[in-house]
Structure 1
Amino acid sequence: MTRTKIAVIGGSGIYDIDGLEGAEWVQVDTPWGAPSDQILTGSLDGVDMAFLPRHGRGHVHSPTTVPYRANIDALKRLGVTDVISVSACGSFREEMAPGDFVVVDQFIDRTFAREKSFFGTGCVAHVSVAHPTCPRLSDACETAARDAGISVHRGGTYLAMEGPQFSTLAESQMYRESWGADVIGMTNMPEAKLAREAELCYASVAMITDYDSWHPDHGEVDVTQIIQTLMGNAEKGRALVKRLPALLGADRAPCQHGCDRALEYAILTAPDARDPDVVAKLDSVAGRVL
């Protein structure tokens, strides 16, 4: 058993956690640069917590410029075991309405301008992301949402686009009709891939703000309308987060789905061929196996 430490990566509209005991903003240095912001640490109902505003306080990072590698590395350095991603998304499904939450279980990665791995020349690794979210953690998110009275959908495919512009109508229709995506956002990739490389359990909660541009009765995405929905979603998001410590508990067994052992057989570069500088940068992410 180990100590549970829950990290919440907050997206648009979620910039802190209510009720943290011993709350303190801490700076974490990483070999991958500075994370999006300082990280708020403390405890909630006896469980250690950390909160990282994905876009930084004041929303200074675009989806493309978010330092994803530094963010995940920083959380790992703080001893985080479980990561909950909370983000604003558009919906491709009539039944997944603005104001609803979706506990995502699959991704289609359409981003192209981001560093997507901690590994590369000098130390090569291949992890599986066939099932990119942790079912145990997703169960807790679903239960917390239902207990908070939130309309929540379990399971869905998240289309990660580069942004920062919203979709064209043709793209929106393609993602919905041909590709079978359920929601669309700009930030969960490469975040989910990096969490897996860092052997962290990861769950994604998509807070729906709009119907993208496919819906004939809603027209194109309007930022003003999104912000209005975000305000309500933010309150719901905080209510969900407050319920997680009681559901996950202070003590944690190894993940039955193997998220915390994702690197067990993933590194292919022979020990004597590994670049020492690259290995040094991986001290937190992959120190267990290196």
Structure 2
Amino acid sequence: MTQAMIGIIGGSGLYAIDGLEDAEWVSVESPWGAPSDQILRGRLAGTPVAFLPRHGRGHRHSPTSINYRANIDALKRIGVTDILSFSACGSFREEMAPGDFVLVDQFIDRTFGREKSFFGTGCVAHVSVAEPTCARLRAALAATGVEGLHDGGTYLAMEGPQFSTLAESRLYREQWGCDVIGMTNMPEAKLAREAEICYATVAMVTDYDSWHPDHGEVDITSILKTMHDNVDKAKAMISAAVPGLGGTRAPCPHGCDRALEYAIITAPEARDPALLARLDAVAGRVL
């Protein structure tokens, strides 16, 4: 049995969590560099919570400059077992309108300027991300019953920071079958899997990207207004979901917390001690 601690990663507009008991911003050092910000620790309805603003308070970090490895390592290092990730996104589906939330179950990763793994030369590992989000966490989020919630969707992760061209938007929507588009959930989801942390994404729709004939190109002014409304809805969702995820729990039925069981293939005598030292939190269970 594991004592649950719920990690919450806040996307654009979500820079703090209200109502935490004994709330305190704490600094967490990581061998992978500096996380986006301090971590806000506290309790929500008795459940331990650790909140990290992905872009930093004041939105200091661009999607590419975020240190995803340090963020996931820092959350793992302080005991996080489950991550609820919130991020603003565009929609490729008429029915997934601005203001709606999508519980992502698949990703297409088109990012190219980011470190995507904790492992490498000196300790090689290959984890499965066939099912990149945890069905148990998605079910808990779906049960909150917030208005405009869609259970399931494919998230196209682009590098950014620019929005899509019209041709790209049509490609992702019509030929690739994507449902939403954003800039921040990759490699975050992959790294959470490597760290054996259950992970779920709530994509908060702010716009229709550029494909929609009645909405035209992405307008940052309208995005900011919808984003503000989405933040209040996200906080309500967090308040409803977190208490049911607290306490002790059995191993994840989907194996998220055992992703490294057979993933490391470098022979023990060939492993780099310096890299192993950096992996103490992420892979300590198997190393």
| Shared fold per TM-score greater than 0.5 | yes
* TM-score (normalizing by structure 2): 0.99
Identify the residue that residue 82 of structure 1 maps to in structure 2.
82
* Bigger mean CA deviation after superposition, 149-158 or 259-268: 149-158
Of 249, 253, 256, which aligns to 1:256? Answer: 253
Identify the residue that residue 203 of structure 2 maps to in structure 1.
206
Distance apart, 1:17 and its partner CA: 0.9
Deviation string 1:187-221 (CA, Å, 9 cap, x unpaired) is: 00000000000000000000000000000000000
| 8 Å Cα contact 2:4/2:48 also seen in 1 | yes
Number of equivalent positions: 287
Distance apart, 1:248 and its partner CA: 1.3
Verify: 1:169 aligned to 2:166, yes or no. Answer: yes
| 8 Å Cα contact 2:127/2:260 also seen in 1 | yes
Q: Secondary structure at the match of 1:167?
A: coil
* TM-score (normalizing by structure 1): 0.98
- Take 1:150 and 1:246, find their aligned partners in 2: how far apart are those partners? 20
Identify the residue that residue 215 of structure 1 maps to in structure 2.
212
Identify the residue that residue 54 of structure 2 maps to in structure 1.
54
> Where do 1:210-249 residues align within 5 Å?
210-249=207-246
Verify: 1:151 aligned to 2:143, yes or no. Answer: no
- Take 2:39 and 2:172, find their aligned partners in 1: how far apart are those partners? 34
Q: Which runs of 5+ in 2 are unaligned?
A: none
| 8 Å Cα contact 2:103/2:138 also seen in 1 | yes
Deviation string 1:100-147 (CA, Å, 9 cap, x unpaired) is: 000000000000000000000000000000000000001111112x1x
**Amino acid in the other structure paired with 1:191:** E
Q: Secondary structure at the match of 1:8?
A: strand
- Take 1:207 and 1:247, find their aligned partners in 2: how far apart are those partners? 22
Verify: 1:278 aligned to 2:275, yes or no. Answer: yes
Structure 1 segments, 4+ long, off by >4 Å, are none
Identify the residue that residue 97 of structure 2 maps to in structure 1.
97
Q: Secondary structure at the match of 1:177?
A: helix
| 8 Å Cα contact 2:82/2:197 also seen in 1 | yes
Deviation string 1:164-192 (CA, Å, 9 cap, x unpaired) is: 00000000000000000000000000000
Q: Secondary structure at the match of 1:232?
A: helix
| 8 Å Cα contact 2:48/2:246 also seen in 1 | no
Identify the residue that residue 128 of structure 2 maps to in structure 1.
128
- Take 2:242 and 2:90, find their aligned partners in 1: how far apart are those partners? 28
Identity of aligned residues (%): 73
**Amino acid in the other structure paired with 1:105:** D
**Amino acid in the other structure paired with 1:171:** E
- Take 2:208 and 2:235, find their aligned partners in 1: how far apart are those partners? 23
Distance apart, 1:245 and its partner CA: 2.4
Deviation string 1:24-72 (CA, Å, 9 cap, x unpaired) is: 0000000000100000000011110010000000000000000000000
- Take 2:273 and 2:239, find their aligned partners in 1: how far apart are those partners? 42
Q: Secondary structure at the match of 2:43?
A: strand
- Take 1:150 and 1:6, find their aligned partners in 2: how far apart are those partners? 23
Deviation string 1:65-118 (CA, Å, 9 cap, x unpaired) is: 000000000000010000011000000000000000000000000000000000
Cα RMSD, aligned residues only: 0.6
- Take 1:153 and 1:259, find their aligned partners in 2: how far apart are those partners? 23
- Take 2:182 and 2:233, find their aligned partners in 1: how far apart are those partners? 19
Deviation string 1:230-256 (CA, Å, 9 cap, x unpaired) is: 010000000000112222132221101
Q: Secondary structure at the match of 2:206?
A: strand
Distance apart, 1:3 and its partner CA: 1.0
- Take 2:237 and 2:160, find their aligned partners in 1: how far apart are those partners? 27
| 8 Å Cα contact 2:198/2:256 also seen in 1 | yes
Q: Secondary structure at the match of 1:103?
A: strand
* Bigger mean CA deviation after superposition, 244-253 or 153-162: 244-253
- Take 1:43 and 1:81, find their aligned partners in 2: how far apart are those partners? 15
Q: Which runs of 5+ in 1 are unaligned?
A: none
- Take 2:33 and 2:245, find their aligned partners in 1: how far apart are those partners? 31
